Chain A
């Protein structure tokens, strides 16, 4: 049987995102805006996991203030975050569904005002925590969190 032995070294400052749903790390990369940041990122896909079967892990080496992690709550609130400073885990962050997300998801309603006024922020508001439903602040078009299914 094929043995997974890939190992990625430690980081001195930054974040380790664990328990990402397998295959979704590239989406997380995009939504965190990592392609615009000058930081070192390791993406490890399809890691064997007791809990999840398979999972993705991301290691991001950068100053802590560079990244707004609140968006992760919307993308997948099952992700666990280890915050690293001076080579040590200094905090573990538990994610909750944010009340509002801005410019993460684009409203798909062709009748929405955001379809013609491109400069408007795309704002989605949490309207049903249990069902993880967000609605466009302007037209109330429904959207679910990305990792719902």
Chain B
């Protein structure tokens, strides 16, 4: 059986994602978008899409290109399309943001940027989803973690289609009652499919495997795992049905959405129970920092979904605060925590994999400084909680300070990623054995053992 290869462009996806996170937080610190503008204002849409597409989706896409083979024990099919997909996503996002800026009136680019950006994003996500759908299809019957990814991909398609329709409506390119209804009542569904279905269901699936792998725990497909999958999949199905109800003008979309949130809460409960079981069944005495920091994200995930299930908290500015907690506490927290590990792991493979067995090499752990990063993650989560509470309290000055704290930690973590890539922390005696290949910062090596 052949072994898995390294995904050539994963590190490029990660680098672009990190830059987008810095840009988004920088804009918030500068007072751009919510809470300094309305929740639906074009300025807010710029920040939201920088985070959702630029940071989270690129991060997830890069991670999936590397880890889907680990989930299904087969290589990625069509990995060569990863670069065109990345370019389409970056180009599409740029045009989309330009379109939002045009809507805000700050500059005067043509409104047509929005639909063109929408089409490019549709093509980029379509190409990426195509790679994974073909890959997953070749591995049927899918193991449970991969089925979460399949659910996430279905949600991605839904979120992208609704988003593309929004770009057409907002640019004024087309009009009609269908689009009017979607713009009026479809925003929450678009966000739920993107942040909940695509990003969260996929993150849950991959984490089942990564947690077992990193904690040396036996991989058991429990009834609770299947219940979590059903809960997440039903939730995505209900949100998709709600979108059809909205388009058709049928009554009941809100009820379907509330039911989807309830199923999500159940899925989170079962997922949490599974993670606890994996942790208890671990052979590794002490969990590494990426796992500990991920647990904090999981806690904030459960909390934010619990809040979203309270109807009183789904209205007004409170819902914005809860969504902030969900995006920066759960998704971004988990993303940064796993990135901390994955960057070191992939760097180790590039640098020391080829000389393994021929010379003494460091461990993956030798590429990072956990004590330093442990403080950074504590600061990060503290800043997220303060930012969330300041949104609830309406203290915008405190919110800016808290986001500035998040931005500072993000920059420090990026510095840690770069130090890992540069092998700066590796003890000098082990750093450069004969035959070692020094990795590029974010581009693949020319003679790289990557996917085809």
- Judge: A and B partners, yes or no: no
* Residues of A near any B CB (own CB < 8 A): none
* Residues of B near any A CB (own CB < 8 A): none
